[in-house]
A and B are shown apart, each in its own frame.
Chain A
Amino acid sequence: MIVTKDLVKKYGNFTAVDRVNLNIPAGEIYGFLGPNGAGKTSTIMMLLGIIPPTSGEIKLFDEVYTPSRLDLRKRIGVVPEKHPVGMWPWMTAFEYLKFFADIFSLKKPDDRIMALLAQVKLDDVAHKRISEFSRGMLQKLSIVRALLHDPDILFLDEPISGLDPIGIKQVRDLIIAENREGRTIFISSHLLSEMEKICHRVAIIFNGKLLAEDKMDALLLKLSKDREIHIDLEEIPDALVGDIKSLDFVLDVNKSKNRLVVKVPKEGDYRKAISEFLIKRNLIPLQLKEKSISLEDAFVTITQENVEMLAGVGGNK
């Protein structure tokens, strides 16, 4: 659905995006991550046709995409990070959406506008001026605008930043619901815990280069050095730490109050073996859970490695 081949964007001598190759199949929720200045916005702007690439190719819906392909843009919905609130202060939410419906040549859009506003609980303020809307309301209005023309791909740039917990849940549910209807969703966000909850696949961009791209589980597994198994027991005998350490697959054991933290290799599932080991000693685990690396940890690991690598290159010079 979205394919880029050796996508490059240069601003003078500075390379903002360096040979980025993406391949996003239809129906996926795709997370695009990167620290500030990594090349995220430039990549998105090229995908949206707002800025032309310096070199490389973009394909949308199996067709070569250039900024002049307005027919392909019609199949895209975009929620930008900031909504230009000061622009049309005299417009109500309904008039604002009707204006965009007009640009998209939608016939009789009134019912659809009201249905979408109801979906994000904005139907009761449909005829209120948008200049009176809060940040959260504007964000929801922006999502409604992006969905108005029933796009095949939805681009979301920081869709939940600035929202309260209820707003975050509403938007998250909406994203998941839209994806279930078959829409491909491309999200760029700093809120990695949220991305972890909803994305099927993620890519990490740093210094203009794509460092990693995979399915969420596979990426986390790839980036984790080892795994931790957390075991809660009513009481921990003194000899237990040493006994568990003697197991051949155990890398390390730490004890804190009634919890044992057992480090094991990232490949394989050792929960059954540890349970059996404890039961043989008449110790019943109150809780046994595996804690794998979070997306946030993975993101920090991979970007930090590259910062160190770049510093090393600089140092060698």
Chain B
Amino acid sequence: MNYRINATRAIAKRKIFETLISPGFYIAISIGLFLGYFLINGFVSSIDSSGLNYSLNSVYELIARFLSGTFGETFVVKLFSEGPFLFALYVSFIPFLFYLAISSVFKFGFEKKVGAIELIAYGPADGTAYVLASFVKDFFFTVIYLLILLVFFFVSALINNLVLGPMFFYSLLLIIFLSIAFFAYGIIASILTDNAASGIALFLGIALFFIIVKMGSFAIVSGYVVSLSNVFAWIVKWFSPLFYWSLGLSAIGYGNVGLYLISMLLNILLTVALLIISHFVLKVRGVRV
């Protein structure tokens, strides 16, 4: 066990450095921050004497209509009840989440193909140490990026005379646990496929599937479209990080701290289960092409 932990530490260190010298990392951060800035600016220009008025900003109007149509009016009211920061947080974070997850899936496929993982596995390391290192790197950068967003939004709030509401801070934690479960699905996608392209396709397929199921459940609740069977959606939700994330969001709405903590714990359990499955799949499939 100590050998695996040490190997995980050494590989994670290299992966962190590798990410820091990669232009993609800075591009993903820049896109996220730009989107955040754009949304806050749009929100500020949509405020008139009566409060928030979407029609003042054409982009905001479009966003509000789309969100209302998909998730319902109540959802939009809740989302913007504390200002633009909750929405901006998610919009700024999603590109970075997908950058981290997809680059890790790509790296696994590529390093496996060229024999780099095999080379590492000749020593006191194995495929599990490699994927754990990848997971640790993704987790590390998620926390770092959320801290960057926190500072960015805090400064934006000060400049625009707005405040970061409690929903924003609760969501920060929820995002961390939502992300780790997605990273674990990225690992599963990597090890189940034979090359980087099919790994990325599988990961995006899984993510899209959960998003569709989640949107479907919103639609069912809203009473607009019943495109998914209730039983199917009920089964799938237990495997979906989005379900536990929305459970956490609901808990914040109800002021139920216990449920909020449970939602995060459930995402941790899902992540651990996925990592354990990955370990056993790797044992069978190995790290050799």
Contacts and interface: CB of A to CB of B under 8 A. Distances in A.
A84 interface: yes
Q: Could you tell me the dominant secondary structure of chain A's interface residues?
A: loop
Nearest to B13: A102
Q: Could you tell me the dominant secondary structure of chain B's interface residues?
A: helix
| A45, A49, A87, A88: most-surrounded residue (chain B CB, <10 A) | A87
B10 interface: yes
Interface string A71-88: 101101010101110111
Nearest to B4: A70
A74 B126 CA distance: 12
Interface stretch (B114-122, B224-232, B256-264): B114-122
Contact of A99 (B14, B21, B118, B283): B14
A80 B115 contact: yes
Contacts of B286: 50-52
B124 interface: yes
Interface string B7-25: 1001101100010010000
B288 A45 contact: yes
Contact of A84 (B3, B10, B114, B124): B114
A76 B3 CA distance: 14
B194 to A, nearest CB: 15
A50 B4 contact: no
A74 B3 contact: yes
Interface of A: 45, 48-52, 67-68, 70-71, 73-74, 76, 78, 80, 82-84, 86-88, 90, 99-100, 102-105, 149
Interface of B: 3-4, 6-7, 10-11, 13-14, 18, 21, 111, 114-116, 118-126, 283, 286-288
14 contacts: A49-B121, A50-B286, A50-B287, A52-B283, A68-B126, A73-B122, A74-B3, A76-B122, A84-B115, A90-B21, A102-B13, A103-B10, A105-B6, A105-B124
Given A80-B115, A103-B10, 14 more contacts: A45-B288, A50-B121, A67-B126, A68-B283, A70-B4, A70-B125, A74-B123, A80-B119, A87-B114, A88-B116, A100-B123, A103-B7, A105-B6, A149-B123
